[in-house]
Amino acid sequence: MSLPKTDSGSNSLNEAKDIKVPYAEGIAETETGIGTHGESAWVVDHHAERALCRKFDYRLLPVLAVMYLFNSLDKGNLGNAKTDGMEKDLHFKSNQYNIILCVFYVPFVLGAPPIAMLGKKFGPARVLPILMAAFGSFTLLAVAATNFPGMLVLRIFLGLSESAFFPLVIYYLTTFYRRGELARRLAIFYAASNIANAFAGLLAFGVFRIKNTCLFSWKYLFLIEGLLTCLFAIFAFYYLPANASSARFLNEEEKKLAHHRIQVDSSSVVNEKFNLSDSLKIFRQPTTYAFLAIEMCLVMLLILAFSSDFTRRRGPFIVLGFTFTFIGMIIYATIDVLHQKHIAYFATFMMCWGTSAPSVLLSTWYNNNVPHEGRRMVLTSVGVPLANLMGLVSSNMFTPASAPKYIPALATTAAFGATGALLAGLLSLYMIIDNKRRDHKLGRKMDMREVPTEMLRDGPSVPEFRWFL
């Protein structure tokens, strides 16, 4: 059975009446002995695929973006509460505020892999809303905190409930979008975090005007954000489709097309049952450790993400993002900030340009290069929290003693930026060389879209495998 290419002039899914479940009958052998599958990853019907993607964009991305917005709000409201006297009201001493900042990252990092594996087993469409309800509930419970130990315990459970949220969102999106469509969607989704940061300040400003009540003003911030989070989690639980095949907003032809897209250009086996021992084999690939090392180093984000999808290249744009941050840090550290404010603002913008792009593109990069769904989930559940582990460093790096220039912190961050750029560049170079080696063995240049991802279950050990650069 096959999916014949249709005229690109077709403007309706109804015209593609011969769309069938995308499994070819056999594999043809080339002169070199390397098989090529009857189904390729080339676009079958541009109009049909664009219409399908628009449905996913309109039906999934807004809901996921709002979920991530609440995730960011609940994670970052501690800083706003501090400005309204939370430390004094809870009788914090010396560095106890820094402690509750740091302790969040321990369960956040350690809890992500096992919870993400449960997400793969039971489905991200169900586990994501449950996680959202959990971190919303812990935010609500902060209203009842009366001292440091109480807030400390809540931060531990908050870190645990938020740990696998972003990895599961990334995995969930890979079950709907092709590899070349993912980065710009993740960038738009990731932008919700920046919106949350802006919205959080405005919300806090308004809430902190509440005076003369039985609660401290900052507690109303936790109350409002936690309650809204829990309510939206209930909506998301019943709204999100488990997969494209069960999406109520798709007709049968669209469901078949959606299955075909993921089978040939994302997953080796669509909706494969989770197998722990098989999924852990991702750590046998040397590139896994390069991806994780880069994770630890982590309006420009959108430019880099869209450019990355357009060129189907990840590495160069990750290098560019890290380079922006590195240059911005160096400029800021070497000028007199008080007397050169224009240059200082420019340097700050450069830091921001490079801050988000490497994180989004790197998560997309290794998801693009792991067709096996279980291994992809394991790698993402380790990589994303590992990047957030650097919060332990940053929480204690900007010390009052190094104010106002914070030279040690800027130098350390710049060094991580330079290291990240170097590692991403070297990994890109390795992938280019390895692809050339594989092409040389085949006797011709092979486009990765010639081979469906259903053939690439074992990754680089398969001769037809080509790295998504």
Q: What is the pLDDT of residues 307-350, one digit of tens each?
A: 777 777 877 888 888 888 888 888 888 888 888 888 888 887 78
Average pLDDT value for the chain: 79
CATH number of 342's domain: 1.20.1250
Final residue of a structural domain among 205, 233, 266: 266
Residues 234 and 260 in one domain: yes
Quote the pLDDT of residue 3. 43
Q: Once rounded to an integer, what is the mean pLDDT over residues 208-221?
A: 87
Do residue 348 and residue 430 come from a single domain? yes
Report the predicted TM-score, pTM, of the whole model to 2 decimal places.
Answer: 0.67
Q: Are residues 327 and 192 in the same domain?
A: no
Task: Dump pLDDT digits (tens) for 425-442.
Answer: 999 999 999 999 998 988
Residue 216 clears pLDDT 80, i.e. is over it: yes
The percent of residues above 70 in pLDDT, for the chain, comes to: 82
Residue ending a domain, choose from 204, 232, 266: 266
Q: Is 205 within a domain?
A: yes
Paired with 27 in beta bridges are: 37
Find the angle CA(299)-CA(300)-CA(305) to the nearest 5 degrees. Answer: 105
Q: Residue 271's pLDDT is what?
A: 67
Give the chain's length. Answer: 469
Which of the residue ranges 31-40, 80-89, 265-274, 458-467 would you say has the lowest mean pLDDT? 31-40
29 falls within a domain: no
Q: Is the domain of 262 the same as that of 291?
A: no
The β-bridge partners of 422 are none
Range 57-66 average pLDDT: 91
**Residue 363 maps to a domain:** yes
Reading the block at residue 349, the tokens are: 């913008």
Count Cβ atoms below 10 Å from residue 284 Cβ, excluding itself: 11
Instruction: Determine how β-strand 35-37 pairs with β-strand 27-29.
Output: antiparallel
- 21 part of a folded domain: no
**How far is residue 326 from each of residues 219, 292, 363, measured CA to CA in Å?**
38, 19, 20
pLDDT at 400: 65
Instruction: Give the residue-averaged pLDDT of 70-78.
Output: 83
Whether residues 222 and 303 share a domain: the answer is no
Domain region containing 331 = 279-469
Q: What is the 3-class SS of the chain, one letter each residue?
A: CCCCCCCCCCCCHHHCCCCCCCCCCCEEECCCCCEEECCCCCCCCHHHHHHHHHHHHHHCHHHHHHHHHHHHHHHHHHHHHHHCCHHHHCCCCCCHHHHHHHHCHHHHHHCHHHHHHHHHHHCHHHHHHHHHHHHHHHHHHHHHCCCHHHHHHHHHHHHHHHCCHHHHHHHHHHCCCCHHHHHHHHHHHHHHHHHHHHHHHHHHHHHCCCCCCCCCHHHHHHHHHHHHHHHHHHHHHHHCCCCHHHCCCCCHHHHHHHHHHHHHHCCCCCCCCCCHHHHHHHHHCHHHHHHHHHHHHCCHHHHHHHHHHHHCCCHHHHHHHHHHHHHHHHHHHHCCCCCCHHHHHHHHHHHHHHHHHHHHHHHHHHHHCCCCHHHHHHHHHHHHHHHHCHHHHHCCCCCHHHCCCCHHHHHHHHHHHHHHHHHHHHHHHHHHHHHHHHHHHHCCCCCHHHCCHHHCCCHHHCCCCCCCC
Whether residue 72 is found in the same domain as residue 141 = yes
Distance between CA atoms of 42 and 28, rounded to whole angstroms? 17
The CA angle 352-354-356, to the nearest 5 degrees, is 80
Q: What is the CATH number of the domain that holds 146?
A: 1.20.1250.20
202 shares its domain with 308:
no
Give the pLDDT score at 463.
86
Residue 46 has pLDDT above 90, yes or no: no
Within a domain: residue 127?
A: yes
Check whether residue 189 and residue 220 sit in a common domain.
yes
- Dist CA 383 CA 386 (whole Å): 5
Residues 262 and 333 in one domain: no
Q: How many domains does the chain have?
A: 2
Residue 331 domain flag: yes
Name the domain boundary from 199, 233, 266: 266
State yes or no: pLDDT of 450 exceeds 70: yes
Residues 146, 239 within the same domain: yes
| pLDDT tens-digit map of 89-138 | 998 887 788 888 888 888 988 898 899 999 988 999 999 999 999 999 99
Shared domain check, 235 and 190: yes
28: in domain: no
The closest of 360, 270, 461 to 68, measured between CA atoms, is 360
Pair 200, 322 in one domain: no
Residue 321 burial class via C-beta count within 10 angstroms: exposed 0-12, middle 13-18, buried 19 and up: buried
pLDDT band at 303 (very low <50, low <70, confident <90, very high): low
Tell whether 126 is covered by a domain: yes
